[in-house]
Structure 1
Amino acid sequence: MSLTLQTLDPRHDPEPSDWEELRTAAGQTVTWRYDLLRAYAWAAQAPVLLTVLRAGGAAVGAVSASLRGVRPRRGVYVTDRDPAGLLDVHAPGNRSQKGWWFTGEPGPERRRELLRGYLRGIRAELGAGWRSMVWREVSPGEPALLPGAVKVRCPTEPLARLATPWSDLDQWYSLLDRARRDSLRRRARSFSADRGLSIEIGPARELVTGTEAAVLRAENDLKHRGGLFPVAPLPFSYLEALVGGDEVMALAYRDAAGRLLGLSLILDHPTWPICFSWGAVLPEDGGRKHLYFDGYVRMVEWSIASGKAGLVLGKGQAEAKRDLGAELVPSSVLAVPL
C-alpha cells in the first residue's frame, strides 16, 4: 500500500480533519492535541514540521521534528526555508515521549517500512541540503528500525517507569528500602496533619490556573537548559490550554493563604499516565522542604486507586526514582547522516 506524507506547520496550517481520531487511535496524550502543538510551535526555537503518514489515504502515524537550519532564526519555514540543516525528531515539549508513533501495533518490518517512507518523503520535501537527522528518546532495540546506513548512538538519561499493580499503598511501601519507606511515611503523615497546608489531586482545571502553572514550570525549565539545543520554557498560552483541558491531572500543595507551593502536572492516560512536570517554591522563598518526594507518595496512591498500570516518572533524578521502585529504561539519541 502506497505511503503519502502530509506535512504541516502547526503555526499556520489548519488541523487535519482526522487528527483527533488519529491521536486517540494511537493512544497519544494531550500534548499531541493540535492547539497545543500550535502553541508549542510558536514558542519553539526552530520551526516545527509535523508529518502525518497516510497509507491508502488513511492516517497511520505521525512524526514531529524541528528544522535546525544553518541560519537558525524564527519565522523562516513558510516564506524562506533554509536550504540546509538537520532534522531533529522529538516529541513537542515532552522528553518522556517519542517524536514518532503509529496506530495499532505494527510489527518491526512495517515500522521500518513506514519510517523509510517518511525519510524518503521528507528528503524530497526539504531538499538535498538537509543531510542529517537526529532521533531522540530511542529505546533499546529501536536503532535497527530507524532508517540510515550509518548511525551514531549517544546514551542519554534513562526513562523511569513505575508499575503500580497493587491494591494499596502499603504494598508499594513494602518494596522500598526501610530508611526510604520510613521517611516517606513520616513526612506524608506530617504533611497530612499540617493545617497550614492543603494537598489536593484532581483535574488540573479545578486546582490550578495557567498563570500559576507557568510560573512554577518556568522555574523548573531553567534548571534543565543544558545540551546542544536547550529547550525554551513552555509559554503561558501553552500551559493555560494544557491545564484547562480534560486530560491533565494536578497535584497541588497550597499554604493557608492559598499560595501554590508545589505543583505536579500529570498527563492522564488509561494505562500509563505521564508525570509531565514538577515545580515548587524554594524553602527560602516560603516553600516547604521535601514536597518533591511526598509528591510521589500522592501520585502512586492516585495511580493505584485509579487502576492504572503504572506511572511514567520521566527523566532526571534517576537514582532517586530507582530508590522508589522505578524501572530505568535506557534511552539514547541516534544521529544519522543521510
Structure 2
Amino acid sequence: MRPRTLLSRPRTAPATSGDVEVRIVDPRTDPEPTGWNRFRKTTAWQPMWDYEQLRLESWLSRNPTVLGVLSKGGSVLGACLAMSCTPWRGRRFGPSGGRGLAPGWAEVYLSWFSGHSAAVFADRVDAARRRELLRAFERALAAHVGVGLLGVVYRAMPVDVAEAASGPGRAVREIDPTTVLVNRWESVDDWFASLRPPVREVVEAAAETASTLDVTAGAGRTDLDAAELATLLNTHRARQDARAWRSGQRARIAGLHLDTRSPIPTAYLAAFVRRPDVVTRTYRDGAGRLVAFHTLIDDRRGLALPHYAALPVSEGGRPRLYADVYAHCVRHLVEARRPELTAGRTLLDLKAGFGFTTRTLMSVAVPRPVMGR
C-alpha cells in the first residue's frame, strides 16, 4: 500500500497552468520524472537533487519530501523540493496513514544544504517566468495536499528566488546568510599569506595536530562505516543545537529556529559518501577511533562543505581541526580551479577570518489564502 502523509495523496495526473505542466512527485514511490536526468546535469547538479538520494532521504525522514517538477513540452523549466511539516515532533520516520486533513505546512528547503536554494530554474527562465512557475507550483501543491495545508514557507532562498516568491500577503524576512569563499588566489600559499597572523597560527597548529592522526581523504569512498559517520554527525549537531538554545540564539528571527530537519540517516550518508563527486576526509586517532570527518561536494561549478563533525576535546577530540579542514578545502579550490566554496550558515565570524564573505538569504511565508496568487 502506498504510504500517505500530509504531502502524500493518491497519485493523480499532472496539473496544467497555462502552457506549464506541474507534477508533484513522491520520490519514495513514484518513478523518476521525465526529463529529470537532463535537468540534473544542467541545473540541479548538487548531489542532494539526485533522485535516489531524494528517495532515501524521504523514506527515512519524519518530514518526508515531495518534488514539484515544472515542465513545458517535456523540458523541465524548474523544480521545488517541499518538506511535510506538522506542529508536533514525533520520532517516527516516513509516517504512514491518512493525514490529508491534519493541519501542517510545507517548507521548500534543502534540509542538509541550507545555503542553497530548494527552488531551482533553468537559465533561460527569467524573473517574470519564475514568479509564474512558483505560483503554479503552489496551486498544484495545495490541490495535492488538500485542506490540511496551512501554507508554504520558502526557507533560505537567494534574493532572486525570494523576489519571485514574494507578493501581497506574503511575509518576507532576511535570515542568516550563507558563507562563500570566492577563489581569488593563484596558490594556497597566497591564501595563507592573506590571513591575519592569529589565523595563520591556528592553521599551522591544526596542521601539526592533524599530522599526529591518521588522515584519509578521497572521492567515492567505499571503506567507511556510514553508521559511525552518522552517529558522530548527529551527536555533533545535537551538541550545537543545545548550545544554541542555551545562548538564546533560537529566539532570533534570523536564526536557525524551528529546526524541522531529521537526524541524517545512515543509509543516506552511506550512499552520499560513495558518490564520485563527494570527497570525504576522516581523522582517526592511534586506536582507530573516528575523531572528525567532513564531506566536500566537488563540481566545476563550485565546491560545498555540507557536513563536518568532530568529537569534543573532553571526549578525546582534537582542538581546532576545523582549521585543517578549511585549509584542505582551499587547496582543492585553488588547485582544481573551482570558482567558489560554500560552507553553510553558522560560525560567520570564525569563517570570515579564513576569507569567507556572505551571501544574502531570504525566507518567504505564504499563508494558504494567498497561495497561487
TM surpasses 0.5: yes
Contact 2:236 2:311 in 1 (8 A): no
Which residue does 2:290 correspond to in 1? 260
Contact 1:163 1:309 in 2 (8 A): yes
Which residue does 2:15 correspond to in 1? none
* Identity rate, percent: 26
Residue 84 of structure 1: how far off its partner (Å) = 4.2
Are 2:76 and 1:59 aligned? yes
SS of equivalent residue, structure 1 residue 7: strand
Contact 2:117 2:156 in 1 (8 A): yes
Are 2:300 and 1:270 aligned? yes
| Partner Cα separation in structure 2 for residue 43 and residue 211 of structure 1 | 14
Correspondent of 1:168 among 173, 181, 187: 187
Letter in 1 for 2:131: R
Q: Give the 3 Å change call, closer, same or farther, for CA 63–224 of structure 1 in structure 2.
A: farther
| Partner Cα separation in structure 2 for residue 70 and residue 170 of structure 1 | 50
Which residue does 1:36 correspond to in 2? 53
Residue 64 of structure 1: how far off its partner (Å) = 0.7
Correspondent of 1:325 among 343, 355, 358: 355
Which residue does 2:209 correspond to in 1? 191
SS of equivalent residue, structure 2 residue 28: coil
Which residue does 2:5 correspond to in 1? none
Bigger drift between 103-112 and 33-42 goes to 103-112
Residue 204 of structure 1: how far off its partner (Å) = 4.6
| Partner Cα separation in structure 1 for residue 278 and residue 349 of structure 2 | 26
SS of equivalent residue, structure 1 residue 273: strand
Contact 2:162 2:363 in 1 (8 A): no
Bigger drift between 76-85 and 264-273 goes to 76-85
SS of equivalent residue, structure 1 residue 215: helix
Which residue does 1:113 correspond to in 2? 132
Are 2:261 and 1:219 aligned? no
| Partner Cα separation in structure 1 for residue 346 and residue 180 of structure 2 | 12
Alignment of structure 1 residues 130-149 onto 2, 5 Å: 130-149=149-168
Q: Give the 3 Å change call, closer, same or farther, for CA 324–113 of structure 1 in structure 2.
A: same
Residue 63 of structure 1: how far off its partner (Å) = 0.6
Letter in 2 for 1:223: R
Letter in 2 for 1:277: H
Letter in 1 for 2:41: T
Contact 1:90 1:135 in 2 (8 A): yes
Which residue does 2:174 correspond to in 1? 155
RMSD: 2.4
| Partner Cα separation in structure 2 for residue 182 and residue 71 of structure 1 | 46
Contact 1:7 1:50 in 2 (8 A): yes
Which residue does 1:247 correspond to in 2? 277
TM-score, length-normalised on structure 1?
Answer: 0.90
Bigger drift between 201-210 and 307-316 goes to 201-210
| Partner Cα separation in structure 2 for residue 281 and residue 7 of structure 1 | 41
Correspondent of 1:26 among 39, 43, 47: 43
Long gaps (5+) in structure 1: none
Residue 41 of structure 1: how far off its partner (Å) = 0.9
Summarize deviations over 1:194-250 as a string: whole Å, max 9, x none.
Answer: 3x4133332151563322321221122213546324422111111111112222111
Are 2:252 and 1:236 aligned? no
Contact 2:71 2:78 in 1 (8 A): yes
Correspondent of 1:293 among 323, 344, 368: 323
| Partner Cα separation in structure 1 for residue 55 and residue 79 of structure 2 | 15
Which residue does 2:20 correspond to in 1? 3
Contact 2:112 2:306 in 1 (8 A): no
| Partner Cα separation in structure 2 for residue 87 and residue 37 of structure 1 | 16
Long gaps (5+) in structure 2: 1-17, 242-249, 251-256
Letter in 2 for 1:323: G
Letter in 2 for 1:41: S
Correspondent of 1:316 among 343, 346, 350: 346
SS of equivalent residue, structure 1 residue 205: coil
| Partner Cα separation in structure 2 for residue 132 and residue 295 of structure 1 | 40
Q: Give the 3 Å change call, closer, same or farther, for CA 336–224 of structure 1 in structure 2.
A: farther
